[in-house]
């Protein structure tokens, strides 16, 4: 299997640090509002890769972080924090917003 190495800007043969074992770190879900197709595209690609690696016989350890906690409204680190905006929109604390939308994400993925 070949994967694109964005650091080297080329396709390279897939190799693991430990034979037969893959460590995956993925960024998902966004938790200041419900997930949308833009968020899910990344999640689905990573999920398909994980499933393919398992199917191919690899032991996979996947860790997924919760994103957009503490991010601002743009990728340029400008504007109002998305979590604070969501908390104000729903009259809840930032932690309540993060917990609610994290739970909603995993519930959507389970269905």
> What whole-number distance in Å separates Cα of residue 64 and Cα of residue 27?
6
pLDDT digits (tens, 9 = 90+) for 71-97: 665 666 666 788 888 889 999 998 899
pLDDT (0 to 100) of residue 16 = 94
Domain residue spans in the chain? 19-110
For the entire predicted model, the pTM comes to 0.76
- Reported as a single tens digit per residue, the pLDDT across 11-27 is 999 999 999 999 999 88
Contacts of 55-63 with C-beta under 8 Å, sequence gap 24+, read 56/1, 57/20, 58/16, 58/20, 58/21, 58/22, 59/20, 59/21, 59/22, 60/21, 60/22, 60/24, 61/21, 61/22, 61/23, 61/24, 62/24, 62/25, 62/26, 63/23, 63/24, 63/25, 63/26
- CATH 3.40.1410.10: does it fit domain 19-110? no
Give the dihedral sign, CA 92/97/100/101. Answer: positive
């Amino acid at each position: 299997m070949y994967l694109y190495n964005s650091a080297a800007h080329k396709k390279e043969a897939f190799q693991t640090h430990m034979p037969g074992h893959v460590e995956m770190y993925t960024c998902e879900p966004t938790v200041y509002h419900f997930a949308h197709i833009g968020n899910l595209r990344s999640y689905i690609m990573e999920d398909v890769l994980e499933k393919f690696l398992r199917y191919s016989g690899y032991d996979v350890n996947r860790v997924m972080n919760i994103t957009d906690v503490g991010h601002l409204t743009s990728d340029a680190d400008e504007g109002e924090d998305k979590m604070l905006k969501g908390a104000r929109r729903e009259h809840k604390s930032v932690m309540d917003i993060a917990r609610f939308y994290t739970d909603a994400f995993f519930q959507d993925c389970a269905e």
